[in-house]
Each structure stands twice: as structure tokens, then as C-alpha cells.
Structure 1
Amino acid sequence: MTRTARPLTIQYVSLHILKKVNPNERRELVKAIFYEKYGTPDVLTMKEVDIPQPQDHEVLVKVHAASLNYGNLVLLKGEPFLARFAFGLTKPKYTIPGGDVAGKVEAVGKDVTLFKTGDEVFGDLSASGWGAFAEYVAVPESSLVLKSSNMTFEEAASVPMAAVTALQALRDKGQIEPGKKVLINGASGGVGTFAVQIAKSFGAEVTAVCSTNNVEIARSIGADYVIDYKQEDFTKKAEKYDLIIGANGNHPITAYKRVLKPNGRFVHVGGSGTQMFQTMSLGPIISMTGSRKMLGFLQRANKQDLLYVKELLEAGKVKATIDRTYSFDEVPEAFRYFEKGHAKGKVVITINQ
């Protein structure tokens, strides 16, 4: 794949995040992607920062790879506006983005018991300060799990947020069961590719909805049926489903309701802002006045769920689908591609090769 890269210029900024630096000490600097205001990918810069020092329950990870998720766009743009109450009202609270991380442990805090120097790990930093778009990051040991030897760092970095989102949406909100008919709208994206495979692992019959260009991807990851939304509208077909995962799309939720079985469930994971608003406002009303449930969903970082997904990966029941890999200085380009919404699986950043 050929791209015209616009390499970032390295600047220096002093970030005394974890300890006060003695000006007489020799300072060890590392590179990180940094931003100080909400906006487009153009606000991202690469700067040199003081290497973080792990606290008692933290490990220092040399980052080999990270990946992009919808949450990264929320942090960058500060949209939807309600997100700013968590991420900073007028300017970003977390100035180094990146949630998914995979790398090698370089040092451990004195109270760390789960990892040692040299361990290869991966995890989700969204509940512990973000910061994966850097050469090094200090991470609570509770946010990480050991990487399987049969996974590359890029594959591992593509997993945490998207796969756990799919698992929680299917199992916790969707109450998936063997033999149930499940439809995944947006089946070729980061969450969607994992949702198809995880639904199959539960013994469900899976219908994938995607564009013409992605039909073969959906088939290759195990979908029983594939609907090309450019050729037909599944919401106007006679087929009914026990569970629909809205990982993308712009259908009104009344259209989803129409193709749900009695006692069926729709779980909104991603899609248009209008669809999200309808799920939040109309969903509770529809759910209270009938047997069909229209549910919103917000993923939560969960180590046990990540370990569950890791077992599926090791068993060969789930595999990572990576669309594109960008170098560290191409992070703005990666964001520009990702925000178009056409990624086939995950977009990954390679940092320390």
C-alpha cells in the first residue's frame, strides 16, 4: 500500500507526570504524540517527553504497537460534547492519546506481582489515563495481560477495546445464546469483525451486513450469511433476528425494531449521531412499552473479559483483522483514514519495531 506521509516534526515539552524531575539529573527523553486542544488530526504533534517512571503498582511498557478506536476520535475532537465532562470541558484532560497497547515490560514498581521485566503484554488504557501513542508508558498492572506467543504485537494491539466491546455487547447487553439468530450491522469494522467471530463462538447463527467491498472479509471470518447493504436493505426483508448489534449504520431504531423477533434485542455500539440519540431517547420508551429491547451500550475496560478474548484467540476461534498499519510519525494520517469510517478491521500504529 502506497501513502504520501507527512512526517511529524519532533518538539520538546517537559511533562512531569509521575515524578518531579531534578534539573541537575540527566533527563531521559522519549517520543510521544501530543495534543493540547480539541480538533482535527492536524492538532497532533510529536514531542519529546520525560520517560514515565512506574509507581508502586505500575509497570513501564516499551510500546511496540497501538491501535485506533472510536474512543480515540472522541478524545481528539471532544465530540459528542457530553464526552467533555469526562475528558476535559475546554481542553483535553489526557494529552497523549491511545487506548490499546502492546509491548514489552521494561521495569516494574515495587509492589507489582503479575509481571516481570521482559514480559510481553497487551491491554486497554482507557480507564487508566490513556497514553499508548508513545514510545513508553507507565501502566497499572491491573490493565494488562500477558501476550500470547502466537500473536504479533500488531495483532495484540488491535484486540483490547474492540474485542471487549463486541463481547460485552453480545453477552451482557445482548444476552446471546446458542442457536440464536444474530445480525451484525457494520460487520467489517474493528468491533464488527470481532463481533461476528465472538457470536459464532457462542454458537449463534450470524448474519453480517457490510458493503460490497467487504463481503469476502465477512465470509472469511465465519459469517453464515452476508448482506451487501448497497444491494439490499435488511430492515425491509422478512427475516427476523433475536439480536442485532448496531456497530455502524444510520437506520432509525424503528427500522431495527421491525426486524426483531418478539423479546429480541437491539444493542447500539456505533453508527450515526442521530441513531445514537434515538437509542438514548426513544430506546427506553420502546423497551418499556413492548417485548423488544432497544439498548444503548458503553464499553468498560475489563481485565477478565480481555482474558476471555485471549482464550478465544489462542483457541483459534477469533483472529485479528488488520486493515492498515501506520508508522509512529504517520499517526495523523492514520486518524484521517480512520475517521472516514471505511476501515476493514483495525488500524494499527507501529511504534518501537
Structure 2
Amino acid sequence: MKAIVYESYGPTDVLHLKDVEKPSPKDNEVLVRVYAASVNAADWRMMRADPFLVRLYAGLLKPTKFQTLGADIAGRVEAVGKNVHQFQPGDEVFGDVFASGFGGFAEYKCASENELVLKPSNISFDEAAAVPLAALTALHGLRDKGQIKPGQKVLINGASGGVGTFAVQLAKYFGAEVTAVCSTGKVDLARSLGADHVIDYTQEDFTRSGRQYDLILAANGNRSIFDYKRALTSKGAYVMAGGNTGQLFQALLLGPLISLFGKQKMGSLTSTPNQKDLLFMKELLESGKIKPIIDRRYPLSEVPEAIRYVEEGHAKGKVAIILERGE
């Protein structure tokens, strides 16, 4: 089968299309013919080993745990192991395969049955592949870490990206008054997702406007943790779900200290994929309460270009990789 592989850390030049052995499912695994995948920040961070701690997970000097990126997949079950009970050949599925070592940028992927759920019939394979990692990151940031409540004033910074587009929709679903922060060209997109207020960060600094929020989810952007602190209510919460390495370490190191000595809660998000929450997202997709936004679609051979585009930080929603149409 064909797959995009990388054998050293670095820029997108390290990625190349290669013929590799088709995997066979273990007793508790499902073999999926991948029809679509999607790109996440996790892909380029793994590719570049940025932050350096990535090497402790993927391999110190070079990637040894896995050599094919891609956490999100959608496709059709081709075979199942003898201990698999949830799926059968022919089922249309989607899921986050991070726990089984990435591998979505390939024609076939073996995954644990608990990483997958049945694909909603009302969306395409590429739309389904755009959901898992980004949507669950948004869900865990708002519901679990942020403890979102109806009527709260919630701000999403980076509202037009992969996580942000789901966060805006989920915050509205949970009954919040949502303020979306994005650039000029994405204001209309944020409004179309249901945001009550939209701030163009090129025209206004939300951290100095005097307005304060009960919950801020930072899905992107380059702001100091102290900027976010100023924009929170006295008992507000800040959740760092995306951004640069400096923001990550501020949230990891300073967030717990600020939380310890005050009523504001500030910190980073660790989102662990799970089947229960993916089923919850499936229900929202089927009911039309959320929808995936796809900016661009690339074939498997152009994964390096797709990752480069996402890394630049200008994508509106998600970027999909199309392997098969699935019709």
C-alpha cells in the first residue's frame, strides 16, 4: 500500500510517499480502508519534534514509534480481528487513531475497535475525517476543563481554525454567549457558525477592551497568559488548547500558580480521545447541531503541502486528505 512516511524530524521535506507493507489486524483490531484523513497541528508538531518533549514519545533521535502521521481517519472496514464485536466488514467508520500510533496518511490503517465509531450517513467521508481530534479537543476544553455553563460569556481565540470552528458551535450548543476572535477574512465564517459577537484581532485587542469573560478557550493565537488573565472575570477560567510553544509552557508552569493563589483557573488542556465522546459528536453531527468546516482538500501525495498550509496558521476550519471517494 502507499503511505506518507518520515524517517527523521524536520520540515515537510522529510515527508515522502512510499510503498509499505499492508497491515493485518490483530485480534482486537479493525483494518480500515482509509477514504479520507485530515491534518492537525499534532502532525506538524510530531514531524518537527516541536516541542522537544515530542521526542520522548516518538523517538529521541528520530521517529521510531511510528513513521506515518495522521490521527483522523474515515473509511470502510475491510477486516476485523477475532475479538472484535462492534464492527464488521463493510461498515463505514471514523475515528482518532492517535493511540494506535497515528498512521492515517496511508491507504490502510489498523486501529483498536474502541478508537472508531460508525460514520453518520448524512456526512461525507472527508467531513467525518475532519471531526475527531479537533472536535474532541474543543469538547474537552469547554465541557471538562472549562466547566462551561449556560448563560456564561465565552471567548474563543482562534475561532476560525480546526479546533476553533468546533468550539464556537459547541459553546453555542451548551448555551453560552459566544465571542469569536479571528482575522478580517474569517469574520463571516465565525458569524455563520453562530458566534454572538466577532472580534477582528487586527482591529481590536480583546484583552484591553475592558470586557471580561467567564471562560476563554485559546485554540490559537500568540498572547501572554497575563493578557488572558486580564480578560477573565474574577472567577473565570482560561484553557490553553492550542498556540505556540511559549504559550504552552506558560500554561503548564504559570497556570497552576495563578490558580493556586486566586479564584481564576488557568491551565493547559490534555485531551484524550475516547469512544463515548466520539459517539456524542456523532449524534450532534447527525442532528445537524454541528458541522465540520473544510477549507481545502489534497490527495495523499500532497500531504506535505497540506501540512505546510496548516502550519502557516491560515486555514479556515480543517484541511482534508482524500484517498478514495467511497462511492
TM-score band, normalised by the shorter chain?
over 0.9
- Paired with 2:300 and 2:116, the residues of 1 have a C-alpha distance of 22
Q: 1:339 matched to which residue of 2?
A: 311
What amino acid is aligned across from residue 100 of structure 1 in structure 2? D
Q: Is the 8 A contact 2:114 2:274 kept in 1?
A: no
Q: Which residue of 2 aligns with 1:127?
A: 99
Deviations 1:180-226 (A, max 9, x none): 11000000000000000001000011000000000000000000000
Q: Which runs of 5+ in 2 are unaligned?
A: none
The answer to whether residue 266 in structure 2 is matched with residue 294 in structure 1 is: yes
Structure 1 moving runs of 4+ over 4 Å: none
**Larger mean Cα displacement after TM superposition, 268-277 or 103-112:** 268-277
Q: How does 1:239-258 map to 2 (within 5 A)?
A: 239-258=211-230
- For residues 265-303 of structure 1, what are the alpha-carbon distances to aligned partners after superposition, in whole Å with 9 as ceiling and x for unaligned? 000011122222211121111111111111111211111
Where in structure 1 are there 5+ consecutive unaligned residues? 1-29
Structure 2 Cα separation of the partners of residues 330 and 254 of structure 1: 39
Determine whether 1:157 maps to 2:116. Answer: no
Q: Tell me which of 12, 15, 27 is aligned to 1:56.
A: 27
1:120 alignment partner AA:
E
Which whole-Å CA distance do the structure 1 matches of 2:46 and 2:323 have between them?
Answer: 20
How far apart, CA to CA, are the structure 2 residues paired with 1:45 and 1:251?
35
Aligned to 1:31: 2
Q: Which moved more, 1:302-311 or 1:149-158?
A: 302-311
Amino acid at match of 1:42: D
Aligned counterparts of 2:244 and 2:29: Cα–Cα separation in 1: 38
Give the match's secondary structure for 1:313: helix
Equivalent residue letter for 2:94: F
Q: Partner of 2:45 in structure 1?
A: 74
Deviation string, structure 1 residues 29-54 (Cα, Å, up to 9, x no partner) = x1111111111111111111111111
SS of match in other structure, 1:213: helix
- In 1: Cα distance, 2:19 partner to 2:282 partner: 33
2:288 maps to 1:311:
no
Percent of pairs with identical residues: 60
Give TM-score scaled by structure 1 length.
0.91
- Normalising by structure 2, what TM-score? 0.98
The partner residue of 2:199 within 196, 221, 227 is: 227
Q: 1:352 aligned to 2:324? A: yes
In structure 2, how many angstroms separate the alpha carbons of the residues matched to 1:124 and 1:33?
18
**Offset at residue 352 of structure 1 (A):** 2.1
- Residue 169 (str. 1) matches residue 141 (str. 2): yes
Q: Which amino acid aligns with 1:349?
A: I
1:178-257 to 2 correspondence within 5 Å? Answer: 178-257=150-229
CA–CA separation in structure 1 for the residues paired with 2:82 and 2:254: 50
CA distance in 2, matches of 1:98, 1:259: 35
Could you say which structure has the greater relative contact order, defined with CA pairs below 8 angstroms and 6 or more residues apart? 2
Equivalent residue of 1:50, what SS?
A: coil
How far off its partner does 1:255 sit? Answer: 1.0
Residue aligned with 1:165, SS: helix
1:272 & 1:112 partners in 2: Cα distance? Answer: 40
Residue 86 of structure 1 deviates from its aligned partner by 1.0
1:90 partnered with 2:70: no
Secondary structure of the residue aligned to 1:304 is: helix
One-letter amino acid matched to 2:285: L
* Contact 2:163/2:219 (<8 A) preserved: yes
CA-atom RMSD in angstroms: 0.8
Q: In the alignment, what sits opposite 2:231?
A: 259
CA distance in 2, matches of 1:221, 1:55: 41
- Aligned counterparts of 1:253 and 1:59: Cα–Cα separation in 2: 42
Name the CA distance, whole Å, in 2 between partners of 1:53 and 1:238.
58
- The number of equivalent residue pairs is 324
Code of the residue aligned with 1:74 in structure 2: it is R
